[in-house]
Every structure is written in structure tokens, then in C-alpha cells.
Chains A and B, each alone.
Chain A
Amino acid sequence: MKLARALDGYTGKVLFVDLTKRTSELFPWTDADRKRTLGCKVMAADILLHHIKPGMKAFDEDNWLVVTTGPLTGTGCPNSSRFNISTISPLTGILTSSNCGGDFGLWLKRAGYDAVIFTGRSETPVTVNITPEAVTFDDATPLMGLTTSETQEKLPKKVGKLVIGPAGEHKVLYACVFSGERTAGRGGVGAVFGDKNLKAVTAFGTSMPTVRNREKLRKLNKKWVHILQTHPLTGRQLPKLGTAGLIAPMQAHKILATKNFSEGRFDGFEKISGEELAEHHLVSNAACTTCVIRCARMCKVDDKVVKGPELEVLGLLGANILNDDIEKIIRWNYVLDELGMDTISAAGTLAFAMELKEKGVHDFGVEFGRNDNVEEMFRKIAVREGEGDILADGSRVMSEKFGGKEYAINAKGMELAAYTPRHAVGHGLGYATANRGGCHLNAGYMVVVEGLGLDVDSLTHHGKAALAIMFQNLMEAVSAGGSCMFTSYAVLPGFLIDKPNWFLTKAILAAFPYVGPVVNLLSHFTKAPAINIPLLPESYAIKYATGIKSTMAKMLTWGAYGYNAERIANVILGQKADADKLPSRLTDEPQDPNDPRTKVPLDKMKPVYYRARGWKDGIPKWHRLKSLGIKISKDVYDAAVKEAYR
């Protein structure tokens, strides 16, 4: 197979591994494909879009697991060695894309591949080893039952590793995959590994792709590091407090999910805050591969230094279950990592079980404010024992069995992150429209402008659709390049962030709700902003690394391509029209009983969002797909749309 490559930054090869037959071959992927999709999650979306069939399920043998890197991976760019795993999610039934900061992507490229696709199902547990010379299959039976760190310890040193823990082996619907201490957490990719009997993957090699203009890239990287290390968010707040530093601002802004999202403030917030973590529990900072922000927190559990909790864990295993014991949260975070479970979905499901108990629907043995048996429940979930077997399917399946859909806090089946959106309505729109479900990052992370970083009116629906689309597309593209999405926060000018009470800041932010038409114009006339902006170094970096003519406009187009490709793939998989919903607790019940604005006005925002996206009822129109260059058969499209309205 001829796979010519004129672009730099890529190895030019995609590996296709059949686990049933234990064979491997090259998968056709050309420069035209690379220019169209860039890499990581957008590349994976495109590969899966052209593979999936109506009715295909996560645990079907021919569901593909697609592990992709970006062109910036391994180029020396800061915060840019992330990789992505996409597949049909067992949690949501539609595509999931899960991004990871571990070093596996870097090693995969060293082994000579931009991506690897797994299909089939091994008869027995297997470890797949990828090197430039060969792909080999080892018996993984001795690794079965081991935790994620134990599994990695048993594998060779100085190779890239992807592993699952007991939760993946038992196909917990929100099981995740680990690379070092970092995780591809969301959507249950670990369960698909488990279903395929794929316990581990290793990659080893020594070469890296060339870059187009090394000198320019070196100079840019120096500037890029400076931007990140001097920006108020990426240079000060994140290194000093980590994402945990959001607990106090979320409390202040009334968006700290509390008691299964019934409230937005928690009386015990100071005991679970980033400040408490930094002052009394932090051992050291840590970082993902090539990261210069270093927001990860290392803490101690049983005298062992381990990865500490992020904001999501502190919020969802703190305020959201009425627990103010931070030492328990640090421990549970470690336990969940070892078992190989997504902390957000595990915690969200736990809170739902607690509310079912409180409402007298069903007693799972867990309840709000009780923290002595939570660890035991996590262990039961991981091996699907007793009541744990029910919680292992997530809040949506539980609500279908027991009722309580109005307070089963998920979107499209994926549990929401720790930001409750009734005081950040644009963030609520993001949750509802995010392709993979209730994910704050796939949502466009609107809370960064609705109170946390900037103080745009968080209760108005005006302008939110356009801003959500712009941030969704931008973050999609940043992710496609292989960069950490946190780097995109630096696109918000430091002076606006640094001076929240300055008259000029207030004047600029007051205009934000009215920027919709301008943002929409930029989104639709993508040739217009054919420039690069200094606060988005990714677009320069892609140009210098690969030779692709990258601009701000091109970045937004890659983002739009990915967002639309994932969406139409979801429709083909069976997503219904108007599936962009939130639980009625968030859309119908005001968080503050005396303020009717404190609920998410989805009905007002969605039509504007759909119009700006070129969608009807959440389904991309044919001409929109054509304009983005998304090629699928008209017959497939028509059949999927017809089914979506059935």
C-alpha cells in the first residue's frame, strides 16, 4: 500500500490491529486526510464516521478503538503531547473521545505510528506490543485482576503503556484507560478495552518525525512557554492551586454542584478547597508529558506519594455527596485510579444512588453525608459485585430501572462535571450540545467566561450560543493538534483576567452578550480571519511543524469539521432528533427559588445554536456537511435522519 507523505510532523503511518486474528497491517491515511482532520479526536471522528453502521454497539466485535496522536506530539511544543482514544461509548451508545496527558502518544510516534486502530476481540487476555519492527501479542492472563499501577509495573520499563484496571476487565460502563498516572477517563473506553480482552498496549521506538521549520518552531516554543508561564490562569492560578483552585470561585459563583446538583453552594467548601489541598496536603506539583503549567497535585495516601484529586473529584466526591473530609477524597481518588474508573461518572452515579435512597426509591447502602462505606462501594462497582453491579452501568441506566430521570444528572448518558449550570447558563447549553455527553470541556468550557475567568453575565441567554460554538470549535481544534485544552485559556487576554474590577474590563465584558452575530459571521465565512493571533500559538506551531497552512480560521474549521463529523456519526448510531437535553432539575427548577432566571433556558438557546451551526433539531444539514468537506453517502445520511425522527 502506497502511503506517500509530504507533510512533516507526522510519521505518515496508521496501524490497524485485528485482535481476533492477531494480525496487523497499515491503514490507509493520506496527506489529504491529515490536512482535513489534523489529528487526535478529529482524525478519530473521521475514521469512525466512515466505519460505523446504524445500530452498531460499543461491545460489538467490530467496534473500533481508535488511538490517535496530533502533529505537535513530540515536536517540542509545550503542553502538546496529548493523545486521544475514540470509540463507540458503552455509557452513551454514541461516539466518545477521551483525551490523555500520559506519554503513550509520544511513544507511539517513536514507534513509527500516528495512530493505532484496534478491532475484533481476542479469545484470551492480551497485551499488544508495538515497535517499528513488529506488532506482537503477549498473553495477559497473569495481569488480570491487577490494578492500573500494578499492571504498569509488570510491563517493561521505558516504553509507552496503556492499561486498564479491574473496572475495565468487568466492563464497568465508565471504566477508563491509564498511561502512567494520566487517564483517558470519559465515556468508558476502558470497558471497550475489557470487552476486547485488551488488558494492555505498549509502544517503543526511537525515531521521531521531522518538522518543517525547526528554527521557527524553536523560537515560537520559547514565546509560547513565556505566554503560558506569565498568563494569570496558566502561569499563576493553575501552578499554585491546580484545578482544585476552582472550588472557592465555584462556591462564590453558585456553580459548585452540591447534593446531586440540587444546590450550587456547599457550607463545607473551605475544607475541600484547592487552598486546603495546597496548604496541608500537597507534596509536589506534577505535569503531563511536555507540560509547562504543572497543575497536577501529588499527595500522600498510606505514605505513598500518588496523584492527588482534581477539581472534579473534590467537587463531586465532596460537595455533591455532602462530604467535607478531604483526606477521604484524596484516598478515593487514588482508589478509583487504581481500579481504573472515571472519577466523574463514578461520583455522579454515586450521588444519584444517594438521592434514590433519600427519596425512598431504593437503598444501595450509600447516603448523603455518609462517607464510611464509599470506598467499599467503589470496589464493588469495579468488580460488579452486589449493588455495585447496578451502579456500574451509570446514572442513565439506573434511572431507566428505578425512575428519577429528572435528577439523574447526565447528558446523553454521561454524568456531568462538577459545575452545576443554573448560574452559568451558557455552560448548560454546552453540556446539552456536547457530542460526547455531559462533558465540560467538549461543552466549550463556558464557565471560564461566565464567572470564573471573566465575568460575562452568567444568567443571560444572549450571545451564549455563538460563544459556545466558538469555544467548542476552538477547543476541538487545539485538541486535534495534540495540545492540552488548558492552553486555550491563554487566548483570553491577561489584562481582562487580571483586572476584573477595572472599568475597561467591565465595559468589554458587558458587550459579550451582543457578540453573537460577529462570532457567527466568523464561523461561517471561514476565509475571513485568515490570520494567526499571538495568543493562539497552536496555529503557528502547526504551520511550522507540518507545513500545513494553518490560520485562526483554519483552526476553527478543523474544530467545526470535528464537531459535525462526530455529530453525524452519532445520528447514524441512533441519536434521535433534539437529543441535546439536560435533566429537568437543571432546566425547569430555579436554583434560587426567588430568581426564575436561575435555570438553564435551553429552549431559548438551542434554536440560536442550531441555526448558527447549520443544524436542524441537532442534526447537521446536508449542505453544512458538504461545505465542511465531510463525505458520507447521501443514502446513509437520509436513512439516518429519517431514523432520528422515527
Chain B
Amino acid sequence: MAKINVKLFGVFRMDTHIDCIELEAAKLGEIFPLLNEKSLALYEERHASDPKTEKPAPFTFKDAIVYVNGERSAKKGLKLADGDEIWLLSPASGG
């Protein structure tokens, strides 16, 4: 298991209310169930005080644009190392 730092951006961050989190995982694909678990726990906290709060949809590796230490990674099985920084981004547009 590697201790890693995960940063969320875009819609993922707005939906989950997670900006940055430390996780322990061996491979890239393993972080998603952990994030969904944390996201659900945060939702339940919010829901207790505000029943109108929307439940975030769980997301998986195939939903996210993933960067590991500043470089794009499309390998779910990528082995992680202590201190890795992972960015999860949602697709975006604008002008």
C-alpha cells in the first residue's frame, strides 16, 4: 500500500465536496471505491442537516481524467508509490 494524495477538480469536487484527501492504495483503480465511500459519508453528514442535499453519483476510473504526478495516466492498474499526487478531473469546456 502506498500513501498518496488525491486532489479532485471540476464536477467531481463540487458533487463529492472533497477537494483533497490522503488515501492508501496499491493501484490507481483502487482509489475510486475509497473516494466513493468517503463521498457517501460526507453526503450523509450533509443530508442530516439538510435533507434537500443531492446524493452524489458514484464514479469510477472510466469517468475521470486522471493525472499522476502531473502526467496523464490511462492505466487502471498503475502501481502507486508513497507520495504520489493524483488529480481527478471532469471533462470541461468554455470560452
Contact = CB atoms under 8 A, between A and B. Distances in A.
On whether the two chains bind one another, the answer is yes
A429 interface: no
- Which bucket holds chain A's interface residue count? 35 or more
A498 B91 contact: yes
A275 interface: yes
A32 B62 CA distance: 50
Interface residues of B, number: 25
A252 B67 contact: yes
B91 A278 contact: no
A440 interface: yes
Contacts of B61: 501
Interface string A128-143: 0000000000000000
B87 A499 contact: no
B65 A249 contact: yes
Given A237-B91, A245-B92, A248-B87, A501 B19 contact: no
Interface string A451-489: 011110000000000000000000000000000011001
B62 A243 contact: no
A598 B64 CA distance: 25
A172 B1 CA distance: 59
A245 B10 CA distance: 6
Nearest to B60: A501
Given A241-B10, A241-B14, A249 B92 contact: yes
Given A248-B9, A252-B89, A500-B62, A243 B94 contact: yes
Contact of B62 (A273, A279, A445, A501): A501
Nearest to A501: B62
Contacts of A238: 93-94
Nearest to A243: B94
A273 B65 contact: no
Contacts of A310: 94-95
A506 interface: yes
10 contacts: A232-B91, A243-B94, A248-B10, A252-B72, A275-B14, A440-B95, A448-B93, A455-B72, A501-B65, A501-B66
Interface of B: 9-11, 13-14, 19, 61-67, 70, 72, 74, 76, 87, 89-95
Given A236-B90, A445-B93, 16 more contacts: A232-B11, A233-B91, A233-B92, A237-B10, A237-B90, A237-B93, A248-B10, A248-B89, A252-B65, A252-B72, A273-B9, A275-B10, A279-B19, A498-B63, A500-B63, A502-B62
Interface of A: 232-233, 236-238, 240-246, 248-249, 252, 265, 273-275, 278-279, 295, 310-311, 440-441, 445, 448, 452-455, 485-486, 489, 497-502, 506
